Amino acid sequence: MNTCHFTGWIPFAPETRYTPSGRKVICFAARVRDEQGAESILRFQMDGDPVGPVPAEIAPGRSIEIDAEATTQTVRRPDGRTVARLVFHVRRLAAAGRRRKGSESPLQLALF
């Protein structure tokens, strides 16, 4: 696994969906800047607690830090194409600029 660190801000409100089996999925985006200064919006999907609130760290306008381990995953699309996507296993999710512990959990984020 590759270790990665994202620092950015949340541009808009997260979206919550539920799978037919009742699993809660939180979709959110983070605007980040690479070493050359180019900005991108990364979109993430995160498993959530079915009865718990959306983490306060992913509220719109907030700065965020994410420490994760990245792997690739092969996905077969409905049109028959096979594509690879990055999947991030989050180790720490916290508000940026603060020296507090943040939430440490085995959350899984998938870049889509």
Instruction: Tell me which residue range forms the domain holding 28.
Output: 2-110
Is the whole model's pTM more than 0.85, yes or no?
Answer: no
What pLDDT band is residue 84 in, cutting at 50, 70 and 90?
confident
Total number of domains in the chain = 1
Provide the pLDDT confidence category of residue 105 given band limits of 50, 70 and 90: very low
- CATH number for the domain spanning 102: value is 2.40.50.140
Q: How many CB atoms are closer than 10 A to CB 37? A: 6
pLDDT over threshold 60, residue 98: no
Q: 67, 61, 69: which is closest to 101 by C-alpha? A: 67
Question: Across all residues in the chain, what is the average pLDDT?
Answer: 80
Proportion of the chain above pLDDT 70, given as a percent = 86
Query: Average pLDDT of 75-85?
Result: 89
Token representation of residue 108:
């899984």
Summarised one tens digit per residue, pLDDT across range 39-79 is 888 877 778 788 888 888 889 999 998 887 888 888 888 99
Do 51 and 33 meet the contact criterion of CB atoms below 8 Å apart?
A: no
Asked whether 111 and 88 are in contact (CB, 8 A), the reply is yes
